Amino acid sequence: MTTYQFLITAWKWNSVLLILCAMVLAGYFLAFQRRGRPGYLGAALAIFLFALISPVSALAEGYLFSAHMIQHILLVLIVPAFLLLSLPRSFSLPRPLTAFTHPFIGWIAGVGAMWLWHAPALCNAATTSRTVFAIQTTSLVLMGSVFWWQVLAPRDANRLSPAAGIVYLFTACTACSLLGIILTFAPVSICSVYQHPADRLGILGTIRNDWGLTSDKDQQIGGLLMWVPMCLIYLTAILAQLARWHSDPVPQTEESNA
Amino acid sequence: MNGTTATVTPATLLDPAEHWHHRLAWLSTVDHKRIAVLYLLTGLFFFVVGGLEALFIRLQLAVPNNHFLQPDTFNQLFTMHGTTMIFLVIMPLSFGLVNYLLPLQIGARDMAFPRLNALGFWLVPFGGILLHFSILTGGAPAVGWFSYAPLSETPYSSTPGVDYWAIALLVLGIGSVGFAINTIATVLSRRAPGMTMRRLPLFTWINFVNAFMIILAIPVLNAGLAMLLIDRQLEGHFFLPAHGGSAVLWQHIFWAFGHPEVYIIVLPAFGVISELIPVFSRKPIFGYEFVAASSVAIAILSMSVWGHHMFTVGMGRAANSFFAIASLLIAIPTGVKVLNWTATMFGGRIRFAVPMLFCIAFLVQFLLAGITGISHAVVPLDWQTKNSYYLIAHFHFVAVGAILFALLAAVQFWFPKMSGRMLSERLGKWTFWLMVIGFNMTFIIQHFLGLLGMPRRVFTYPDLPHWAWMNMLSTVGVFFMSASSLILLWNIVVSFFRGKIAGDNPWNAWTLEWATTSPPPHENFHALPPIRSRRPLWDYGNPDRPDPIVGKDTSEIESPDKSKVSILSFIVSEAAFFTVLLLAYLYFYAHPQPGPGPRELNVPRTLIFSLCLFASSFTIWRSEISLSKQRRSSMLGWLALTIALGGVFLVGQGLEYWKLFQTGVDVSTNLFATTFFTLTGFHGLHVFLGLVALLILLWVAWQGDFASGRGSTLAAAGYYWHFVDIVWVFVLLTVYILPLIR
């Protein structure tokens, strides 16, 4: 199969996901009517679907660790961020869920989502079993939401102060960069499934020859994706914190230190 | 503000009261202003040393096939020149400026920790002497300022030059970290009422950000230096490929420090420019927030792009591409800054005094430096020009054209504040023009030499077409720069004694250092103007049209406890140190060597002793609670128990070491042993130092000197102790548990 054919044909129809998205959309408008910011919700759902039914997803299913990493980053960092942004300003969490709003829990959730699912056993299981993959996807979006809540909660009072937010984001960035560095330089395969893919789509030759992606190089790219571009996402958030700090007319607690 | 009031105390070296012990007054000082002057003078002294080294290098290269210097002497000269200029000139000069100005700019009386400040300074001459002492031991280091392994290892550099180099850099690095911790604590907890974080002058803000880079980046170098010394002194194998070590690992460690280091030395220059351009354009800075925020962006980006120094090492196309893109991105925040500075000048009433001339030259030279810098982010171009004179030209445009010019602007600008007298503008213009002409004559041509293929670090070159006159031109330029430097030194000496009296605020500037006398009294300020914006002196002098109030109209500020702030900063830097050691352990764990491995370790016994260490975190917490409840004996008991538990843990580690030594395993056995002993040894050392600190606390508490107001000291010691325990969690998981689950 050529690259072009692959990009055309590798889109999957997934009724469960589409129904889920439709329900979220309906629920959103029922709950918030016009108070929300549906643009962000649309972006969240579109990226969510892109991560799970596009060719990226096909490649992540056993072919390329780097594609899995793109999927991972989208699900844990981008989709939850847009989801939180779509909530109306007046939104506050139902009482039982406020247990998850401690910054420490948020940090552990965000960093844990990166480290935990790259333990070799879990990474392999998520690639081979549909059930584990579903659990993984759900947990990534949830843990990402818990992480971003500290920074992007709809009410300003629920967010960290800008300085604390910068420390929160920078330390998370460092923790994830460390994992990226380890993945980049690891001489052994972290997710051994990707070393010898079962060639269901007949695309392996294209990947190895036309794209020039050996399994070593593939893992290196995966690690680099976590190391460099992911850091840029955190950096963007840090700059947003600085902007908020410099623009905010309401009194803020000014600094904390790490 | 009326800038030239006549109430100026003329510059004197000593207060009258100090004359009777005048020899000690400067040696034993803990006053930030005097320490700053010592920093600056030390930096100037080594500037002469490093400049002479450069002069000899250029004399050797003036003509082709020259034998003025021996090849080995040439290698020593360029190594010492690079090391001196970065660690003994630019860093001390920047630290001196910060030391002098930062407390004044925030209306503080001194740095948060004056004695730590003095220690930080005295480590600079100590490090400088150590580095140069190597000359007496068989030759200075001759391995380049980045000291690539395995050239820096014993088989290839058998004289102690590299050892002195490494120890000197460790000493200087420790001083820098101390200085940075002090800076962070000073900014956070020593600001005057009204000086909120959003109202900080840009020089202070940028150096505050820089302090975080220092505490994160310098420990990475320290870890690498420790490994190099273990290789050289204890026959370890970290960077020796012949024994399974990795020479590329040294490059990663060095550049993980080295790239942030570039910004550590350039950010203070940015701070200077951001202060001076508004003053000489008679306008507030354009886009304060952007200058402030882009510094943070630069700091963070610079820590993840070190790979662009290693394009030619063979990291692979994937890694090269990522680092190329990330490196190109740094151009954005830097470009934002240049835009802000230029826009500040736009439409301003520009005064072309000497400091401003240097600022304008800075802008032009830094732009060129940035353009060649970006060209190095492009991998194919980098492959062609790396290790050629093109690279030399690029980084000298950064180090001289940007950093040195900014420092010269700063000297001209702030000398009146420090001495009470103006530097001569006439001599200053001579310095400026000779420097600009000489600098460009020396280095512009080197771009072309590099593109023609002239390699760096080779002691001479053949008589190829054009090479001779280009090199000669470059050497002639150095004489212009030397003349300029001599005039500067002359200017400083003459003006110190005979310069025009400056007055409080000779430049009509707006930040707080100009609100006091020149030089400031020992306690810095008798009274402060109200601080509501970023230009308090403008507001004070123009009450009819003050700057808009920044943030909430309040003079209340938060001042976190300086002990906690400093110990947390220290922990961050220690975390960086241990992270490097852990990553090195993991790296070699993944490449197993023949010989002993993790299976030699006694896991159950270590787990039991680890429980003691973890329990001690609990006991020190109980001790803090007892202190807060004023129960002295219970607090003493818990503290003593903490020390006992820590001691038991060390005994356990001793047992582990003893068993390994019994079976003939020591640091030099193989890479597992090297990494194991390094990682656990440094942790053990930290436990030991923690125990010493706790014993001192116990003694102080026993003496009853702990009654009130000292709670934060115990809390700070507690933070450190918890940190040591958390490090052990990671060491335990990596060294003992990981082999079990594989």
- CATH number, domain of B166, equals 1.20.210.10
Q: Is residue B537 domain-shared with residue B594, that is, in the same domain?
A: no
Q: Are residues B486 and B593 in the same domain?
A: no
Contact assignment for B198 to A246 by CB distance below 8 Å: yes
pLDDT at B80: 97
* Contact by Cβ (8 Å): B20, B522: no
> pLDDT of B57-110, one tens digit each?
999 999 999 999 999 999 999 999 999 999 999 999 999 999 999 999 999 999
The token pair that represents A28 in the structure block: 């959103």
Task: Report ipTM (2 d.p.).
Answer: 0.90
∠ CA A6-A12-A17 to the nearest 5 degrees?
A: 150
Residues 6 or more apart whose Cβ sits within 8 Å of residue B491: B423, B424, B427, B428, B431
- Selected for mutation to probe chain B from A178, A185, A215 (highest B CB count within 10 Å) is A185
pLDDT number for residue B554: 83
- Over the Cα atoms of chain B, what is R_g? 27
pLDDT tens-digit series, residues A31-40: 888 788 899 9
Does residue A160 come out as left (phi exceeding 0), alpha (psi in the -120 to 50 range) or beta?
Answer: beta
- Mutate which of B322, B336, B565 to test chain A, going by most A C-beta atoms within 10 A? B322
| Interval A217-236 mean pLDDT | 93
Cα B87 to Cα B168: distance, rounded to the nearest angstrom: 10
- Report yes or no on B293 lying in a domain: yes
Confidence of residue B703 (pLDDT cuts 50, 70, 90): confident
B465 and B611 both lie in a single domain: no
* Radius of gyration, alpha carbons of chain A: 19
Q: Is residue B624 part of a domain?
A: yes
* Chain B environment of A178 (Cβ under 8 Å): 579, 583
Distance between CA B182 and CA B113 in Å, rounded?
6
Give the Å distances, CA to CA, from B534 to B8, B194, B195, B541.
26, 10, 9, 14
What's chain B's average pLDDT?
93
Please say whether the beta carbons of A162 and A248 come within 8 A: yes
Select from B188, B297, B319 the Cβ nearest to the Cβ of A224.
Answer: B319
In the prediction, which pLDDT does B18 show? 65
**Structural domains in chain B (count):** 2
Query: What is the DSSP code string of B562-592?
Result: HHHHHHHHHHHHHHHHHHHHHHHHHHHHTS-
Interatomic CA distance for residues A164 and A159, integer angstroms: 10
Q: Are residues B341 and B459 in the same domain?
A: yes
Across the interface, of B329, B568, B590, the residue whose CB is closest to A186 is B590
The answer to whether residues B625 and B515 belong to one domain is no
**If you average pLDDT over residues B29-53, what whole number do you get?**
96
Report if residue B466 sits inside a domain.
yes
Among the listed residues B729, B741, B734, B522, the one whose alpha carbon sits nearest the alpha carbon of residue B611: B729
Q: How far is CA B232 from CA B281, B578, B584, in A?
A: 54, 20, 17
Q: What is the value of pTM for the model shown?
A: 0.94
**Residue B558 and residue A185: Cβ atoms within 8 Å?**
no
In this prediction, residue B1 carries a pLDDT of 39
- Do the beta carbons of residue A67 and residue A56 sit within 8 Å? yes
From the list B552, B569, B586, the residue facing A251 with the nearest CB is: B552
Residue B709 sits in a domain of what CATH number?
A: 1.20.120.80
Could you give the CA distance from residue B568 to residue B723 in angstroms, rounded to a whole number?
10
Note whether residue B470 is domain-resident.
Answer: yes
What are the residues facing B455 on neighbouring strands?
B388
List the single residue in B with minimal CA-CA distance to A250.
B552
**Nearest to residue B190, comparing CAs of B177, B202, B204?**
B204
Whether residue B331 is found in the same domain as residue B478: yes
Q: B12: pLDDT confidence band, cut at 50, 70 and 90?
A: low
**Does residue A53 belong to the interface with chain B, where contact is any CB pair within 8 Å?**
no
Where residue B5 falls among pLDDT bands split at 50, 70, 90?
very low
What is the residue range of B36's domain?
29-541
Q: Is residue B15 part of a domain?
A: no
Task: Convert the pLDDT of each residue in B400-411 to its tens digit.
Answer: 999 999 999 999
Residues B378 and B516 in one domain: yes
Is B334 domain-assigned?
Answer: yes
pLDDT tens per residue, range B584-627? 999 999 888 888 999 889 999 999 999 999 999 999 999 989 88
pLDDT tens string B619-659:
999 998 988 888 888 989 999 999 999 999 999 999 999 99
Across the interface, do B558 and A243 touch by the CB < 8 Å criterion? no
Confirm if A17 and A53 have CB atoms less than 8 A apart. yes
Q: Give the pLDDT mean for A224-249.
A: 90
Q: Which A positions 119-178 lie with beta carbon below 8 A of chain B?
A: 163, 166, 170, 173, 177-178
Burial of A212 (0-12, 13-18, 19+ CB in 10 A): exposed
